[in-house]
Amino acid sequence: MADELEFEGPILKLQRKIEELQSFAESTEIDLSAQIEELRHRCGELQREVVDRLSPWERIQLARHPQRPRFLDYLSQVFEEPLELCGDYQSGEDPTMFTGFAKLAGRSVLVVGQRKGKNTKDRVLYNFGMSHPEGYRKALQKMRLAAKFGIPVITLIDTPGAYPGLEAEERGQAHAIARNILEMARLKTPIVCVVIGEGGSGGALGIGVGDRVLMFENSYYSVISPEGCSTILWKSGDFTEQAAEILKLTAKDLQGFGIVDEIIEEPLGGAHKSIPESSKLLREALIKHLDELCELDQEVLLEERYQKVRRIGVFYEQGRLIAAGKVVEPATSPELS
């Protein structure tokens, strides 16, 4: 099976064995329920173990899994009555970037997200999840609209990066992303950002500044793709696994840096094992965070958002190691002496 990942091998083998036993039990009418139960239990344990031990590179494979739930799955399963809004009101329409109103547990929200597509035709239509400047401008135009009416913004991030093409440069890719980052930092409405698959660098951050940043367990968020990192540092495309390791791009890493507020657990084996279950978990997380944020006074909301990004970073100051705004190592660094 093409969609099978290497590390899933032992689990799938066990699952097949369970199926065989079951059909054997049915056809011979021998009672094997105890054995089957035992195997099921072992299978569950094995899955948990495998998932816990997944390397960053393996998680990236899950984040890019062809069957992984994409933006459009979540749009239909998490939200009610989506109403798409098109156009950046300046020069174009980028189908990769979705923007539109929807209801979430009775509340109006603006949903922004990157579409990727699950078949070749859609992948091409959505440019493999890589937005053009028009996509970022559209997102900003609609976010401003939402803020005007006090509607919270939810962004679902899934992009290998902003489109690195000739026309994208001509139409100001860098400017579009920079402008979004600045405006999102001061947008007068709650913003919740969720990395659902790939958090590819500036392309992700262009819709990624908010009051809460969440990541799915097997998503990644990185300054550069492992492929790009491998090419630049090793002058070869063969070191993607090592690159994924050193870039510290998993959800756990980002939580450790104080960038991510919550990790949304995935169904055992990855989000693609159950799209309804993944959607349910996302929905619950979104409702919880919006409930909290909508309670806040606007001034408090914006101040906390500012402090959230303001704190990010790790450096020495007068010899003390500061991480996420806190002194973590008061000892004098040898570098300064």
Partner 1 sequence: MAWDSFKRIRFRKKKEMPGGLWLRCPDCTAMVYRDAVTELLQVCPECNYHFEISLDERIACLLDEESFEEIETGLSSADPLEFVAVKRYADRLVRAREVTGLEDAIRIGYGTIEGHKVVFGATASNFLRGSMGSVVGETFARAVELATRERLPFVFVSGSGGGARMDEGVLSLMQMAKTSAALARMDDAGGLFISILTNPTMGGCMASFAALGDVTLAEPKALLGFAGPTVIKNTIRADLPEGFQRSEFLLARGFLDMIVSRIEQKSTVGQLLDHCRIQAPA
Residues that bind partner 1 (CB under 8 A): 162-166, 168-175, 177-179, 181-183, 185-186, 201-202, 205-206, 208-209, 221-224, 228-229, 232-234, 239, 242-243, 246-249, 253-254, 257, 259, 305-306, 309-310, 312-319, 321, 323, 333, 335-336
Q: Nearer Cβ to partner 1, position 177 or 301?
A: 177
Toward partner 1, which CB reaches closer, 82 or 258? 258
Bridge partners of residue 214, in order along the sequence: 194, 262
For the bound state, the minimum distance from the C-beta of residue 202 to partner 1, rounded and expressed in Å, comes to 5
Shortest distance (Å) from residue 232 CB to partner 1: 7
**Cβ count within 10 A of residue 15:** 16
Q: How far is the CB of 296 from partner 1 (least distance, A)?
A: 18
State the Cα–Cα distance between residues 268 and 200, nearest whole angstrom: 24
Q: Which two tokens stand for residue 186?
A: 């001061």
Q: Pick the closer one to partner 1 by CB: 244 or 281.
A: 244
159, two tokens: 């992009």
Q: How far is the CB of 228 from partner 1 (least distance, A)?
A: 8
Question: Using an 8 Å Cβ cutoff, are 140 and 146 in contact?
Answer: no
Which CB atom, from 46 or from 223, has the smaller least distance to partner 1? 223
Closest CA to 158 of 306, 289, 280, 271: 271
Question: What is the nearest approach in angstroms of partner 1 to the Cβ of residue 11?
Answer: 30
Q: Residue 69 CB: number of other CB atoms within 10 A?
A: 26
Placement of tokens 């968020």 in the chain: 221
Q: ∠ CA(293), CA(296), CA(297), 5° rounding? A: 140
- Of 30 and 182, which CB lies nearer to partner 1 in the complex structure? 182
